[in-house]
């Protein structure tokens, strides 16, 4: 054990186990999580042969497939059915590979469960669970990802044969990007424009078999393939798909909420957007997923910062641990606080999703819009925080952060597409703004509105209650004030533009930056509120609560300092109050410092899950880096063939022109 890390753990003032329990919803869940992680770590088959970064793309794909199929069988043998528990096992078993079947379990099966009729579920789910059917969610096209009403793929109903005929009429209508579509899947859910009786009925989901279930060759009229190497996700065969007069039976349209009868009569759903449900489900889960990404980067960067020493503090004296530099703390501790904030908010989003989804199942769609706004906003807010935070963690590791040995570049390329997939983040923020503007008249009137948004109608002339003590309640009020004011500003801007003669749509289009500011401020407030509520309700001892409260305050104060203009432009905070906040920020960095390592230990990631030479629990960073380097295929031969092919002839040629000087 590295002595600095051992010392860090000794000096912690709280019990990390209590925090681990709080993060993973109780000691029983922690026990199960550890059991599954250990089972995966000890499994010889999952040990792997060489580091993923030294493998070709095809090798990465094959290793990922082999491991995931092995793990699915193991999980079935162990009787583990809960998706979260399965994820814990897989995360520890194959952390470096993006599963080519992720869309099968993450979107294909859930879409059938949520959008299929009873008969469709009975028909497809058993085959999907036993991998006879391997599916994906094929929505995005080369020409359209965001504007899904503009999708071009058509599904035209033919009443004479009671079939839909699917077509990709243009190059841009080709499905493009779906995970596992290229080579792995034999079927998919295709989002297509439904046409019955010659009329367009909007986009709907259709089950389409794309490959023969025995030979895996393409079905007639189907062309598909891999889209090529990407920034990350290279063990996944994100694919393209072109459909030419592909016929599927009427029963293959997912008909839980809308129907096409035998004669082609269209029965619409109660709400057209109910068919977007799988996206809402995944967005709700992306929040915790972002917390996972950012927390892993924090574990790596904070442990490494405790081990790494750089620069003599006094001449001839010992070099300081880099974690002792205030600037390093300022970069890392707010991110640590953010990771906690996102874990707690993710938990909230998942619970809220389950609550509203069951109301929807029971036929009550009243909260659908609000659920959409919350999930879209938190998905965007959390993925932005995660991506930017991972990059800061990488920079905090200096040169070694740039190596795949650190594990951080992999985290970055794995998590950054979260800002784009499941709804590009700016577009998602505009959906939040649309929701807020829609209820704005009710907010102003003081009409009946959800508690999430009540504060948005507060008196904007009020000033901050902040004192030198910096209470959490005052911090939350500051966020609420900023969100209310930015919303009011955006609304006023739109009204002014309308008064000046613009149409409402033109006024909206000319205000999307202001609307995005308002939506982000709303999401930020949501996170601060959730974090502070969970901390104040947490059943933990006083020392643990103190540490969590410090983290929560740091999250809030850092959010204010980073967006200071928005908090002071209307004079809400006085300059005096801003200086309280700046002083408190510095105090909190010092207060968190002795607990930083214990706070990252509390995330409870086994080394294998982190896959990082820098983030090892034992802190043996330097021998691990050396071992990793030795594994490079470059080092398999003392002299590479390329020396004889290129360097030697070049040297010979050069030396003939200018004879070599004696060394
Ligand atoms: C327990 C563990 C379980 C684990 C399982 C889950 C695993 C998840 C873990 C996650 C981790 C990693 C995931 C990796 C996988 C990545 C794979 C990626 C997949 C994809 O990317 S799939 C494709 C995703 N595509 C999109 O997201 C498209 C984005 N575009 C849209 O959503 C829409 O086009 C739009 C919202 C931008 C606009 O839609 P449109 O129909 O044009 O609507 P508007 O005119 O703007 O608004 C009209 C009204 O509709 C309301 N609305 C819009 N969307 C919804 C919705 N989804 N639900 C409800 N209501 C909606 C909108 O509010 C308007 O209402 P109003 O008229 O104002 O009342
Ligand atoms: C790794 C990865 C995996 C994916 N997996 C799948 C999958 O399994 N299945 C699937 O169907 N899709 C998948 N996708 C596709 C993904 O869902 C889309 O890329 C995403 O929805 C964004 O759409 P787009 O690419 O058309 O971006 P665009 O909409 O073209 O965005 C480009 C820019 O235009 C801006 N913009 C676009 N529209 C607006 C607007 N209305 N207002 C303001 N700004 C706007 C955006 O903010 C962005 O800056 C995946 C993508 C990636 C990267």
pLDDT, tens only, 262-299:
999 999 998 989 999 999 999 999 999 999 999 999 99
- pLDDT bracket for residue 35 (50, 70, 90): very high
Q: How far apart are the first and last CA of the chain?
A: 45
Helix (H) or strand (E) holding 575: helix 575-592
* 82-98 residue pLDDT tens: 999 999 999 999 988 88
Average pLDDT over residues 336-353: 97
In a domain, 539, yes or no: yes
- In the annotated binding site, the residues are 140, 179
Give the C-alpha distances (Å, rounded to integers) separating 511 from 237, 380, 522. 39, 19, 17
* 133-156 residue pLDDT tens: 999 999 999 999 999 999 999 999
- pLDDT bracket for residue 654 (50, 70, 90): confident
In a domain, 653, yes or no: no
* 314-335 residue pLDDT tens: 899 999 999 999 999 999 999 9
Q: Which pLDDT value is given to residue 551?
A: 98
Q: What's the domain count of the chain?
A: 2
246: its two tokens: 């592909």
Question: Residue 232, by phi and psi: left (phi above 0), alpha (psi -120 to 50) or beta?
Answer: beta
Q: Which pLDDT value is given to residue 97?
A: 80
In a domain, 32, yes or no: no
Which of 549, 564, 594 marks a domain boundary? 594
For residue 48, is pLDDT > 80?
no
- pLDDT bracket for residue 661 (50, 70, 90): low
Which of 566, 594, 622 marks a domain boundary? 594
Q: Which pLDDT value is given to residue 223?
A: 98
User: 431 C-alpha vs ligand 1 centroid, how far in Å?
Assistant: 9
Which of 250, 269, 288 marks a domain boundary? 269
Answer yes or no: is the C-beta of 106 below 6 A from any ligand 1 atom: yes
- pLDDT bracket for residue 452 (50, 70, 90): confident
Q: Which pLDDT value is given to residue 446?
A: 81
- In the annotated binding site for FAD, the residues are 140, 179
Q: Which pLDDT value is given to residue 50?
A: 78
Q: Which pLDDT value is given to residue 660?
A: 63
* 218-242 residue pLDDT tens: 999 999 999 999 999 999 999 999 9
CATH of the domain at 530: 1.20.140.10
Rounded-to-integer distance, Cα 444 and Cα 499, Å: 19
In a domain, 436, yes or no: no
Answer yes or no: is the C-beta of 365 below 6 A from any ligand 1 atom: no
For residue 659, is pLDDT > 80?
no
For ligand 2, atom 17: residue with the closest CA = 421
In contact, 298 and 305? CB cutoff 8 Å: no
For residue 12, is pLDDT > 80?
yes
In a domain, 567, yes or no: yes
Q: Which pLDDT value is given to residue 606?
A: 97
In a domain, 80, yes or no: no
In a domain, 338, yes or no: no
Least confident of 392-401, 594-603, 645-654: 645-654
Report the chain's mean pLDDT, rounded to a whole number: 96
User: 608 C-alpha vs ligand 1 centroid, how far in Å?
Assistant: 34
Cα 479–chain centre separation = 24
Can 422 be counted among the known catalytic residues? yes
For ligand 1, atom 52: residue with the closest CA = 273
Domain coverage including residue 476: 468-594
Pairing state between β 319-321 and 309-312: antiparallel
Q: Of 244, 226, 246, 243, which is closest to residue 235 (Cα–Cα)?
A: 226
Which of 141, 163, 422, 566 does the annotation list as catalytic?
Answer: 422
Rounded CA Rg of the chain? 27
Pocket of ligand 2 (CB under 6 A): 103, 137-140, 144-146, 177-179, 233, 238, 417, 420-421, 423-424, 426-427, 430
Q: What is the ipTM of this complex?
A: 0.98
**What is the model's pTM?**
0.97
Residue 480's contacts (CB-CB under 8 Å, 6 or more residues apart) are 455, 456, 458, 525
CATH of the domain at 234: 2.40.110.10
Helix (H) or strand (E) holding 441: helix 425-445
In a domain, 175, yes or no: yes
């Amino acid at each position: 054990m590295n002595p600095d890390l051992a010392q860090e753990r000794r000096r912690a003032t709280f019990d990390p186990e209590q925090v681990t329990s709080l993060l993973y919803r109780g000691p029983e869940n922690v026990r199960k999580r550890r059991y599954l992680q250990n089972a995966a770590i000890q499994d010889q088959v999952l040990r792997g042969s060489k580091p993923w970064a030294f493998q070709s793309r095809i090798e990465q794909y094959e290793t990922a497939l082999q491991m995931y199929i092995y793990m699915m069988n193991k999980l079935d043998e162990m009787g583990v059915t809960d998706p979260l528990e399965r994820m814990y096992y897989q995360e520890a078993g194959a952390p470096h590979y993006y599963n080519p079947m992720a869309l099968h379990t993450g979107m294909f099966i859930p879409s059938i469960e949520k959008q299929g009729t009873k008969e469709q579920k009975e028909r497809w789910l058993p085959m999907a669970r036993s991998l006879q059917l391997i599916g994906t969610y094929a929505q995005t096209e080369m020409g359209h990802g965001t504007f899904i009403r503009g999708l071009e793929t058509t599904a035209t109903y033919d009443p004479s044969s009671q079939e839909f005929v699917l077509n990709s009429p243009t190059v841009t209508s080709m499905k493009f990007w779906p995970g596992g579509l290229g080579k792995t899947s034999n079927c998919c859910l295709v989002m297509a424009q439904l046409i019955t009786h010659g009329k367009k009925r909007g986009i709907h989901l259709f089950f389409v078999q794309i490959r023969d279930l025995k030979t895996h060759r393409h079905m007639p009229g189907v062309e598909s393939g891999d889209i090529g190497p990407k920034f990350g996700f290279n063990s996944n065969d994100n694919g393209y798909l072109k459909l030419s007069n592909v016929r599927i039976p009427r029963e293959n349209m997912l008909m839980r909420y809308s129907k096409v009868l035998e004669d082609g009569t269209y029965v619409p759903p109660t709400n057209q957007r109910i068919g977007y449900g799988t996206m809402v489900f995944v967005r709700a889960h992306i929040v915790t997923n972002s917390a996972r990404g950012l927390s892993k980067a924090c574990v790596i960067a904070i442990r490494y910062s405790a081990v790494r020493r750089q620069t003599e503090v006094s001449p001839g004296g010992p070099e300081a641990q880099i974690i002792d530099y205030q600037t390093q703390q300022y970069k890392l501790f707010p991110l640590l606080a953010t990771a906690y904030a996102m874990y707690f908010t993710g938990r909230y989003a998942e619970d809220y999703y389950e609550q509203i989804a069951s109301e929807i199942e029971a036929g009550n769609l009243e909260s659908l819009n609000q659920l959409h706004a919350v999930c879209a906003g938190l998905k965007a807010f959390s993925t932005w925080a995660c991506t930017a935070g991972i990059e800061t963690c990488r920079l905090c590791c200096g040169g070694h952060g740039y190596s795949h040995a650190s594990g951080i570049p992999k985290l970055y390329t794995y998590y950054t597409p979260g800002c784009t997939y499941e709804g590009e983040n700016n577009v998602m923020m505009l959906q939040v703004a649309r929701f807020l503007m829609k209820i704005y008249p009710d907010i102003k009137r003081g009409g009946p509105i959800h508690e999430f948004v009540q504060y948005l109608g507060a008196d904007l002339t009020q000033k901050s209650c902040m004192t030198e003590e910096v209470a959490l309640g005052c911090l939350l009020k500051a966020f609420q004030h900023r969100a209310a004011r930015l919303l009011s500003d955006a609304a006023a801007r739109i009204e002014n533009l309308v008064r000046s003669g613009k149409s409402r749509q033109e006024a909206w289009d000319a205000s999307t930056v202001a609307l995005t500011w308002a939506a982000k401020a709303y999401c930020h407030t949501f996170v601060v509120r959730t974090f502070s509520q969970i901390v104040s309700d947490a059943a933990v001892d006083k020392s643990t609560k103190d540490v969590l409260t410090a983290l929560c305050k740091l999250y809030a104060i850092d959010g204010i300092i980073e967006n200071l203009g928005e908090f002071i432009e209307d004079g809400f905070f006085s300059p005096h109050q801003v200086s309280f906040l700046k002083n408190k920020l510095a105090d909190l960095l010092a207060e968190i410092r002795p607990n930083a390592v214990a706070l990252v230990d509390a995330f409870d990631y086994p080394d294998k899950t982190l896959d990082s030479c820098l983030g090892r629990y034992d802190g043996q960073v330097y021998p691990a880096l050396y071992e990793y380097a030795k594994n490079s295929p470059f080092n398999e031969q003392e002299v590479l063939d390329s020396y004889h092919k290129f360097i030697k002839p070049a040297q010979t040629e050069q030396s003939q022109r200018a004879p070599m000087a004696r060394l």
